[in-house]
Amino acid sequence: MHDRSRPPAVPNRYPDYDVLAKRNGPSWNDKTREAIARRLSITDTPLFFSADEFAALTAIAARIVPQPATRPPVPVAALVDRKLHANVCDGYRPAGMPRERDAWRRGLHALDAEARLAFERRFVELAESEQDQILRRAEAGELTSSEWSGMRCDDFFKRRLLHDVVLAYYSHPTAWSEIGWGGPASPRGYVRLDYNERDPWEAAEAEPGREAKAARINRHVR
């Protein structure tokens, strides 16, 4: 979580790089294009969660992966929602942790109950600093509302909430562009495999004072 009133500026490590420039080029195959198109079509309309649950998840995601206002946001809550709607599971879970759908519903209701106990308001109605307090106490295993129904709050935070929110964020092309990743390397693959070598179809990372050079390279990455 972040103790600031607004998200920090994301360092522009890969200036002028847009992974979607690869969409119609040789870097991706048709299956990749189909998967990316589905991901880009996701909107902030819940299919699994109720409206109140979705609002709580949206607020949580904003604390875990705050996003800059300078670009369209990654729809983190909607990506988690679609995974649960499709009942896509990890294939494993720790002892005492319900299945994904049950864990998320129980966890969101419990966090709301904890917010009411501590501040007499729902989680989405809290100030960001208050939301962070609740989430930090969940991470530390300090929450004890009966709404947890036997699920450990720290297990929910670390193994479900943090896991799903971060994976959802970095599953989106907007996040790929920020970290200079080119998406699945299929069918093209990689050629230059030695340390710190870059293939021509990979983004160039900007060195301090050489941002313009990286931008010139990245405008032509396909």
Whether 2 maps to a domain, the answer reads no
pLDDT for residue 192: 87
Which pLDDT value is given to residue 222? 87
Statement to judge: residues 191 and 138 lie in one domain: no
Rounded to two decimals, the pTM is 0.90
* Helix then strand then coil, % of the chain, to nearest 5: 50, 0, 50
Angle between helix 51-64 and helix 100-119 axes, rounded to 10 deg: 80
Asked if 141 and 86 sit in the same domain, the reply is: yes
Q: Total structural domains in the chain? A: 2
Compute the distance between CA of residue 132 and CA of residue 127 in angstroms, rounded to an integer: 9
What is the block-wise mean pLDDT of the chain (222 residues), using blocks of 10 residues?
A: 49 90 91 94 95 98 94 96 94 88 98 97 98 98 96 96 97 96 87 87 90 92 89
Whether 147 and 222 share a structural domain: no
d(CA 205, CA 191): 18
20 and 38 together in one domain? no
Tell me how far apart the alpha carbons of residues 217 and 205 are, in angstroms, rounded to a whole number: 10
Tokens 């709050």 belong to which residue?
153
Q: Is residue 106 part of a domain?
A: yes
Instruction: Evaluate whether residue 162 is within a structural domain.
Output: yes
Same domain, 58 and 139: yes
pLDDT of the residue at 5: 46
**What's the domain range around 77?**
29-174
pLDDT for res 4: 44
